[in-house]
Copies of this chain bind each other. A is one copy, B any other.
Amino acid sequence: MISILDLRARIGAGSLTPRGAIDLCREAIAARDPAIGAFVALDPDPAIPDEGPLAGIAVGLKDIIDTAGLPTQMGSAIYEGWRPRADAAVASRLKALGAVTLAKTTTTAFASLDPTETRNPHDPGHTPGGSSAGSAAAVGGGMLPLAFGTQTGGSVIRPASFCGCAAIKPSFRLIPTVGVKTYSWALDTVGLFAAGVGDLAYALAAVTGREGIETEAASAPRIALVRQDFAQAPEPAAEAALLRAAEAAGRAGARLVDIALPPELASAWARHPEIQDFEARQALGWEFTEHGEALPPRIREHLEAGGRITAADYDDARRHAHRARRVLKALFEEVDVLLTYSAPGPAPATLASTGDARFNRLWTLMGVPCVNVPVPGEGLPVGVQVVGRFGGDGRTLAVAKLIEDALRR
């Protein structure tokens, strides 16, 4: 993979120019993407700033993120050739930091569950996950140092785990969703993919203007091992990765406790789909009503289901989520982070499914930061998920870094 921190160090030392760094990515894309299919559009002649904390960093943006200079097609024929007027807030911010928004990456239609044709960079017969398929595959496949996706259920952490790269779904609205196609306004969260946790921290600090994010250090963090029993058991590979990560954290000085989540969290987890689908049916009202025949089957099913959810059920689901957030906040008085599965196992051996978000959706609903840390091992990548308190993105990244470092030793 291509590391942001490595590129920036070489640029700082004068051994690489920003243009050279962008060219590295272009060459990697030309060599590898024909077998992966992570991109829907590349800027043939982008402006390449010489200055800025992200100068020389080529970025991929999931194709539901508006760009004025490149098409934004939502993974759907309904938006074929569509050119928004403005850049999304995050795209504009990236340019202001010196980054090059080089590419649009594949997305399932409207960031739902119908697979793209993108292949897992580690094995072309396996899914890269979704919905941020192209962003995860671009970074995991060593073609870009930074890519952005969105998560409504598990669309950042799951594909990162499948593709073997680091990723963060930050606290809710830490990065604005302005100019990002909405699926569920209570859930949609913009997230980052990068080679390692240090790269994520550097980029997130720059994008949010929050310098503290990258400097917080984790010393003897308190980590709760969480298995999310309400979401069924994972595959052995995911359990093994969790144990390996826990052991590594322990060796690095972390204090580990095993906890069962309070029942309010299981209740909230169960209600996530109602909030998601009720909102999606409204958010995509025009697409459903005027172009329903052009929608692929899974998203159409979800939108039809959304139309059957009553406002009363939706309100009740939101009350459950609200209660769970309070309970979770209290839990973070006792521990710094939770450590849990990023996905049920490695990427499934199919291109007909993007995998299962059941270990992700509670945390999206809670709005808390989640980091995927790849766990080195045999076979296809498997990651673990570090979950922190709302607004504690820096602390969460610091503990994730401690685990990443310990796993690499």
With A92-B289, A315-B391 as known contacts, state yes or no: A176 contacts B210, CB within 8 Å: no
Q: Are A286 and B176 in contact (CB under 8 A)?
A: no
Tell me, in angstroms, the Cα distance from A33 to B277 when the chains sit together. Answer: 41
Binding-face segment, A38-46, A82-90, A222-230, A352-360: A82-90
Find residues 87-140 in chain A having any chain B CB closer than 8 Å to their own CB.
Answer: 87-89, 91-93, 95-96
Binding-face segment, A12-20, A177-185, A234-242, A381-389: A177-185
Residues of B within 8 A of A251 (CB): none
Which listed residue (B79, B89, B178, B179) contacts A85, Cβ 8 A? B79
Residues of B within 8 A of A311 (CB): 208-210
Query: Quick check: is A279 within 8 A (CB to CB) of the other chain?
Result: yes
Q: Are B96 and A178 in contact (CB under 8 A)?
A: no
Query: Quick check: is A287 within 8 A (CB to CB) of the other chain?
Result: yes
Query: Quick check: is A173 within 8 A (CB to CB) of the other chain?
Result: yes
Instruction: List the B residue with the shortest CB-CB distance to A391.
Output: B315
- Chain A contact patch, size range: 35 or more
Q: Are A89 and B285 in contact (CB under 8 A)?
A: yes
Copies of this protein, total:
2
Residues of B within 8 A of A95 (CB): 289
Q: Are B286 and A92 in contact (CB under 8 A)?
A: yes
Tell me, in angstroms, the Cα distance from A287 to B179 when the chains sit together. Answer: 12
Instruction: List the B residue with the shortest CB-CB distance to A213.
Output: B311
Query: Quick check: is A282 within 8 A (CB to CB) of the other chain?
Result: yes
Query: Quick check: is A48 within 8 A (CB to CB) of the other chain?
Result: no
Q: Are A87 and B286 in contact (CB under 8 A)?
A: yes
Q: Are B185 and A283 in contact (CB under 8 A)?
A: no
Tell me, in angstroms, the Cα distance from A185 to B78 when the chains sit together. Answer: 27
Q: Are B176 and A283 in contact (CB under 8 A)?
A: yes
Residues of B within 8 A of A177 (CB): 185
- Quick one: which of A182, A185, A285, A289 has the most chain B CB within 10 A? A285
Tell me, in angstroms, the Cα distance from A285 to B178 when the chains sit together. Answer: 10
Q: Are A86 and B209 in contact (CB under 8 A)?
A: no
With A79-B85, A311-B209, A311-B210 as known contacts, state yes or no: A282 contacts B185, CB within 8 Å: no
Q: Are B96 and A285 in contact (CB under 8 A)?
A: yes
Tell me, in angstroms, the Cα distance from A166 to B311 when the chains sit together. Answer: 25
Query: Quick check: is A294 within 8 A (CB to CB) of the other chain?
Result: no
Tell me, in angstroms, the Cα distance from A391 to B91 when the chains sit together. Answer: 34
Tell me, in angstroms, the Cα distance from A89 to B185 when the chains sit together. Answer: 12
Residues of B within 8 A of A186 (CB): 173
Residues of B within 8 A of A9 (CB): none
Which listed residue (B86, B87, B173, B286) contacts A68, Cβ 8 A? B286
Tell me, in angstroms, the Cα distance from A285 to B175 when the chains sit together. Answer: 13
Can you sample 14 A-B contacts with CB below 8 Å?
A86-B286, A87-B290, A89-B285, A92-B289, A92-B290, A93-B282, A173-B186, A176-B182, A176-B283, A177-B185, A208-B311, A209-B310, A209-B311, A315-B391
Can you list the 7 inter-chain pairs with the closest CB atoms, starting with the nearest?
Answer: A92-B285, A87-B286, A86-B286, A92-B286, A178-B283, A178-B182, A89-B282
Q: A86-B286, A91-B286, A209-B310 are in contact. List 8 more A-B contacts (CB 8 A).
A: A68-B290, A79-B85, A89-B285, A92-B289, A173-B185, A176-B279, A178-B282, A315-B391
